[in-house]
Amino acid sequence: MKNGTMKDLLIEELRDIYNAEKQLTKALPRLARAASNQKLKQAFEAHKEETEGQIARLEQVFEKLETRARGKLCHAMEGLVEEARDIMEKDFPPELKDAALIAAAQKVEHYEIASYGTVHAYAQAIGERDVANLLEETLKEERATDEKLNRLAIDDVNKKAIKAA
Ligand code: FE
Ligand code: FE
Ligand code: FE
């Protein structure tokens, strides 16, 4: 980028994550359907709702930055969703599939945590406090979702996966 500012870079990243979130709202109901564990199913459904709120929050962010809410294909999310799809198609026992679905979902959350961590830092760096606060809210939700999935895996799903074999 021979010309461009930190704000341009922030907007680029926001367009990537905006598209990533949209891909995710389509993938999460499929993940919920593929899950057998009720708590896992509910976690995916709850995060679908949350993701819709995150999309709305991003639209607020674009508005504050006085730029059009527009996505730019996120190749990483495409790949992560593709990997999740591979797992859904596998002939695993349900308990094992649940464990694998959590792994795929956590990879997604980690990608989002990295992305929101970046845009939050950029927004702070250029003094866009309202934008930074909005992005921080989502960052917290992504971290909480990752933690929830982690606990579900350790306390419940992985134990059942071992017994299922
Ligand atoms: Fe998200
Ligand atoms: Fe991306
Ligand atoms: Fe998420």
**Ligand approaching nearest to the C-alpha of 77:** 2
Count of domains forming the chain: 1
Tell me what pLDDT residue 1 has: 57
- DSSP secondary structure string for all residues of 80-109: HHHHHHHHHHS---HHHHHHHHHHHHHHHH
Domain housing 101:
6-164
Query: Residue 88 corresponds to which tokens in the numbers above?
Result: 């859904």
Q: How far does the centroid of ligand 3 lie from the alpha carbon of residue 58, in Å?
A: 13
pLDDT in tens, 9-38: 999 999 999 999 999 999 999 999 999 999
Q: What is the CATH number of the domain that holds 95?
A: 1.20.1260.10
Establish if 76 belongs to a structural domain: yes
Establish if 1 belongs to a structural domain: no
Establish if 61 belongs to a structural domain: yes
Residue 86's pLDDT band (cuts 50, 70, 90): very high
Establish if 44 belongs to a structural domain: yes
Taking alpha carbons only, the member of 110, 76, 107, 92 closest to residue 35 is 92
Establish if 84 belongs to a structural domain: yes
Tell me what pLDDT residue 2 has: 80
Q: How far does the centroid of ligand 1 lie from the alpha carbon of residue 163, in Å?
A: 32
Q: Evaluate if residue 78 carries a pLDDT over 70.
A: yes
Alpha-carbon distance of 53 to 49, in angstroms, equals: 7
pTM: 0.95
Backbone angles phi, psi at 77, to 5 degrees: -65, -35
